[in-house]
Amino acid sequence: MLDHPIFLKSVRFIRRELGSINLDHLHQIVLERMIHTSGDFSVSSLLRFSPDAFQLGLRALKAGSVIIADTSMATVAIKPMSERTIHTPVHNVLDWAPKQTCTEQTRSAFGMQNIWKEFEPRFSENDAPLVVIGSAPTALEALLDLIEAGHHPPSLIIGMPVGFIGVENSKKRLMNSHIPFIVLEGTRGGAALAASVVNALMREALN
């Protein structure tokens, strides 16, 4: 059984509390998952996304796109759902990062640069990776730098780094780009919330 009865009861409660808000189906299931994960209905007012972002993410997962996450926490939050649904490979950029750095650049940024350059020859426009950023704005900035330099963009970026230094600027830069995005506006975010978005899309891909 994919869903525990307690989860289903929680979803029914969330739907009752949200009331009739007439959302697109994918928007609805992603929002429900985010509220369930955070225990906070206010995330609905902070959710931002580009046109067709949910549909593009779902399409990419169905086409076999891999998922690239910025931290071990996000990776661990995604892998169990992947194993229960469509068995999408999930990669952690830190596995491509040096053990320590001698510059101001973070390990997450180094890892994003390295994994993207390694994976880029393997994917096409239809199956480009989904990128999940739940912690490190520097990883998001590094990917945006690569794309601006002419590298292939991902199918979707779920941009939900959390914190105060560089977080809001990285989200604004993503939202001003041509890349499909799902963003939690402001300083809020985190691995669990970012993972909840892709987990909702994987569940839908299974259906």
Q: Which two tokens stand for residue 163?
A: 């914190």
CA distance 145 to 158: 16
Residue among 36, 87, 91, 178 flagged as catalytic: 36
CA distance 38 to 33: 9
Our answer to whether residue 151 is catalytic in this structure is no
C-alpha distances out from residue 89 to 75, 83, 130, 191, Å = 10, 9, 11, 17
CA distance 89 to 67: 6
- Residues with catalytic function: 36
